[in-house]
Amino acid sequence: MSVAIVTGAASGIGRAVALELARGGTRVLAVDIDLSGAEETASLAAGTVVPHRADVSKPDEVEGYVRAALSSLGTPDKFFNNAGIAGANRTIVDMSVDEWSSTLAINLNSMFYGLKYVLPHMIDAGRGQVVNTGSIASLQGAPKRGDYVASKHATLGLTRTAAAEVRQFGIAVNCICPGSTDTPIIGKFRALLARDGQPIPAQGVGGRGMASADEIARTAAFLLRDDVPFLTGTMLSVDGGASGQY
């Protein structure tokens, strides 16, 4: 039976992916710093979902969630490396060093730690699928988004590097790049835009402003399938065509 680790699983895309995988019979470790949210995700699952609290910006806690998956569910063959935050929404000049560091710690360092501690077990098993969560911000810049854009551009580069390093072991590593999605994190981002008097960008097919988390989850679940092994080192942009407008 497949075993997955999903980070940022307390809400939004992470929760939707955890539930999508569980419905397909995958046993899932739902990781989040918000344990009550991860427990709620587990309560909604049609299959086996085990909640686990971890701060993904801390390498020892990332090692801890990998150990928890191994002990409670088995060797992970699917990894949705997803946890992240919206960032500060300030210009480079106005952004504090602490704000910059916090965003990079959660959005980028956590991606590296996850790959560092999950991939050895996939290498030993000779199989695995990894999906890192990027963003439309992996593909373009935006004012007042320097911390977030830098973290998401780097996530795409890290994805391509990891894919090149582990393809010989039968492991695929890809990046999903959502646009605006109806999740708590986009609500926080829109609140930051409103705070600073910035317009909220419109995007999406048919005039829809946002995708649903379930739509993104179905795309992530496709990338986590084990029957498309030649699809690796790439990204799928799921943004309603918004990235093509620039």
- Please list the active-site residues: 148
Q: Cβ(203)–Cβ(242) under 8 Å? A: yes
H or E, element range at 101: helix 97-104
Q: Cite the beta strand spans of the chain per DSSP E.
A: 3-7, 27-32, 49-53, 78-81, 128-133, 171-178, 235-238
Say which amino acid occupies 74.
Answer: G
Place of tokens 């973290």: 151
What angle, 0 to 180 degrees and rounded to 10, lies between the N-to-C axes of helices 110-125 and 146-166? 10
3-state helix, strand, coil in the chain (%, to 5): 50, 15, 35
Q: Cβ(3)–Cβ(74) under 8 Å? A: yes
Q: Residue 155, by phi and psi: left (phi above 0), alpha (psi -120 to 50) or beta?
A: alpha
